[in-house]
Amino acid sequence: METRTALVTGAAQGLGQEFAVALAGRGYRVAGLDLEPQPETAAKVADYLELVGDVADPGTVQEGIERIADRFGGLHVVVNNAGVYPAKPFEETTVEDWRRVMRVNLEAPFLVTRAALPYLKAAGWGRVVNIASAAVLTAPPDMVPYVASKMGLIGFTRSLAAALAPYAVTVNAIAPSMVRTATAERTVGADGGFEAVCAGQLVDRTQEPADLVSTLLYVVDEGSGFLTGQTLNVSGGSAYL
């Protein structure tokens, strides 16, 4: 296999960092786009391009994709991982709250994939992976905007798979349970969120970032070209898609 390039959004820490390191381990050159600097990720990846900026800003995304092409000569894999998940009662959810979640969780994958598409088409081979959530079925009542955005992302995945099939580009989603990351610890995990989610799973432990790596590598594998338009539920049995 030729040396290929992958972009991971939200790569500064947590699941995005785990994905970036795993792809590098498979021989990919990796770029990460995050609102925050990514020194920890860069230290773990030999050939890493750090892009700092808002993944939901069209100009930032376009400039970032062009920098990837200039540095690595192309782009083959896009992992739309960046996301926000504030927990708040629906009655207290503001228009600004709603729009922020939709911008990061749903609009950003659209912007990133659209900007990357000319390079995926030019390569004649590509993988787009969207990180959804099993919450679309477990439906926590204090995360209405998040659930709506991730359900939208699943619809985006299915339709985009049909649109990109002629170019040998597959589009799939991975739907994890609540993953133990620093952000999750700080937000939903602080009030017993991990324990509550774990109680509804068949696998009796909290999901870790490493639990998603094998699924990601399967989806982007050269031999997975017949898999597209799918949402792979990796949630410890908490939901069934």
Enzyme catalytic residues: 146
Q: CA–CA distance from 54 to each of 29, 121, 155 (Å)?
A: 22, 25, 23
The answer to whether 61 and 78 are in contact (CB under 8 A) is no
Q: Is 156 helix (H, G, I), strand (E, B) or coil?
A: helix
Q: CA–CA distance from 62 to each of 42, 68, 116, 143 (Å)?
A: 21, 10, 8, 30
Q: Please state the length of the chain.
A: 241
Report the candidate in 20, 1, 6, 5 with the shortest Cα–Cα distance to residue 212. 20
CA distance 106 to 110: 7
CA distance 93 to 75: 38
Residues in contact with 63: Cβ distance below 8 Å, sequence separation at least 6, in sequence order: 53
Say how many CA atoms lie within 13 Å of 167 toward its Cβ.
Answer: 22
| Angle (CA) 154 122 115, round 5° | 50
What is the rounded (10 degree) CA torsion for 69, 81, 220, 179?
Answer: 150
